[in-house]
Amino acid sequence: MKSRANNAENQGCVLIVDDEDALRRALARTLSKQGYQVVDASSGSLALELLDTHDVDVVVSDIRMPGMDGMALLRLVREQKPDVPFVLLTGTPDVATAVKAVGYGAFEYLTKPDDLPRLGESVAKAIEAHRAAITRRRILEAATRAKVAKPGSRRAIDGGMVLDGRYRVGRLLGAGGMGTVYEGRREDLAGMPVAIKVLHPRLSDQQEILARFRREAEVVATIDHPNIVKVIDFVAAPDGPVFLVMELLHGDTLATSIERDPPFSERRVAFIASQVLAALGAAHAVNVIHRDLKPENLVLTTLAGIEDVVKLLDFGIAKLLAADGHQRLTETGLTLGTPAYMAPEYARGEAATVAGDLYALGCVMYEALTRQQPFTGTNYNAILFAIQQKQPPPLRDLRPDVSPELTAVIERAIAKDPADRFPTARAMDDALAPWLARGATRAPSSTTAGLGTTPTLESPSVPPKNRS
């Protein structure tokens, strides 16, 4: 039987993994004094045994250990216990390892001894994230039970309202064609900040739209990748609004950064694109195509002092490729998506494929470097014609300093023929490896964040773009 202390002061169970006995015991004493139940292991293999016998809320592990190191343990924990956050400790920090840790799903990356004083804070945030992750298990059940209400039964949303008895609505963050996004708080989880995406009342009685909104919750909850915004809940009660609850992001959209920041360097574009490719790869692995990749759907956050950590948003028109009996919500013949980033085959009404997402990312990279979209037009049809029949302005005419090698990567990504593009997200990511090897940009040392901290859909200094 798994053990869990019943002491009212216990705030959660922490597993500490470190082969250095003195440090491991010191950390255990410190966290125990803060009210946590603590179990410890001197190796990765012992840690895995403890995970099977204890209800662990967060793992704190050193990176450098004999046998199974912390990075290998992280990957195994993410496979076996995907809801359990993982905090990595290192005495020899380097940006490349930190970036790799993010890709593997680390909650936070701390250095010894400088960051140890805030370990308790990190553990608290990780446990909060773990408990929120557990609630995501309700999403698929709630989505399955969702029913369409009778016309006129949906109420308008006002600040201060409490939805589903738990979510208090705060200020408006943005609005789009399908829904409105509000800041909110989950009152049954100590006021945890969240983002609430409410389906427009006029759409909530339409079966197809409601199904697409519900599918967004199902898709994102299924993928559960660190570079994809987390969906915490989905609610569609007959007598209330239909809404998604997501983590609240602190950062700017890529669209805002392109407009506001100095011209992007090759390294910055490659770093951002690599994370998007990791998110797309996870989606493609479960036969999901995003279909609406654009700068407005990419939020840049900060993790452990590393800037430009990507969160991919809005799977509202995602397409399921697997013929597994699920309803296909976007069929061949529909040109859904944002025209400027739409692959030529989409513009012709052909089926969605992996190549279409990679094409959209190529357009995003082109825009990040040049501050202009590769294809423009005076109206929707003119853009669709340009996408199918014209070539974009040569990238190096707009940015002569960009290397031929990166230009070639982007040109391959936006090739007219899908067969001429990269075959997979991994293949395109491999092509970006030379730029990633040069490191990543770091934020000022006073900035602290983690994957479990709550992200915002707007910049504190720049008004948010409207979004759905």
pLDDT digit string, tens, across residues 112-154: 887 788 888 889 888 887 777 666 555 544 444 443 334 344 4
pLDDT for the residue 6: 44
| Highest-pLDDT range among 95-99, 208-212, 248-252, 349-353 | 248-252
Distance from C-alpha of 186 to C-alpha of 170, rounded to nearest angstrom: 11
The region of weakest confidence among 82-91, 134-143, 348-357, 391-400 is 134-143
Q: Are 58 and 85 in contact (CB under 8 A)?
A: yes
More confident residue, 232 or 16: 16
Count of CB atoms situated within 10 Å of the CB of 6: 6
Domains of the chain by start residue, with CATH:
13-135 (3.40.50.2300), 142-246 (3.30.200.20), 252-436 (1.10.510.10)
Q: Which residues contact 360 (CB under 8 A, 6 or more apart)?
A: 290, 292, 293, 294, 337, 341, 342, 343
What amino acid positions are annotated as catalytic residues? Answer: 292
Q: Which residue has the higher pLDDT, 98 or 402?
A: 402
Among 94-103, 141-150, 154-163, 359-368, where is mean pLDDT lowest? 141-150
pLDDT computed for residue 452 by the predictor: 29
What distance separates the 2 farthest-apart alpha carbons in the chain?
Answer: 69
Q: At 38, which amino acid appears?
A: V
Mean pLDDT over each residue of the chain, to the nearest integer: 79
The span from the CA of 74 to the CA of 67, in Å, is: 14
The pLDDT of residue 312 is 93
Among 91-105, 110-124, 321-335, the minimum mean pLDDT is found in 321-335
Give, in order, the Cα–Cα distances in Å from 297 to each of 64, 73, 206, 209, 325. Answer: 36, 32, 25, 20, 29
86 pLDDT above the threshold of 50: yes
Percent with pLDDT over 70 in the chain: 79
- The yes-or-no verdict on residue 326 having pLDDT over 80 is no
Whether residue 445 is predicted with pLDDT greater than 60 in this model: the reply is: no
| Confidence category of residue 235, pLDDT binned at 50, 70, 90 | confident
Q: pLDDT value at position 81?
A: 83
Which of 62 and 325 is assigned the larger pLDDT?
62
Give the lowest-confidence range in 308-312, 451-455, 463-467.
Answer: 451-455
Is 278 a residue whose pLDDT tops 50?
yes
Q: Average pLDDT for residues 57-78, to the nearest whole number?
A: 91
From 219-233, 316-330, 446-460, the region with the lowest mean pLDDT: 446-460
407 pLDDT above the threshold of 90: yes
Cis bond upstream, residue 262 (ω within 30): no
Cα dihedral sign, 289-291-295-300: negative
Beta pairing, strands 252-253 & 306-312:
unpaired
Q: How far apart are CA 451 and CA 303, in angstroms?
A: 7
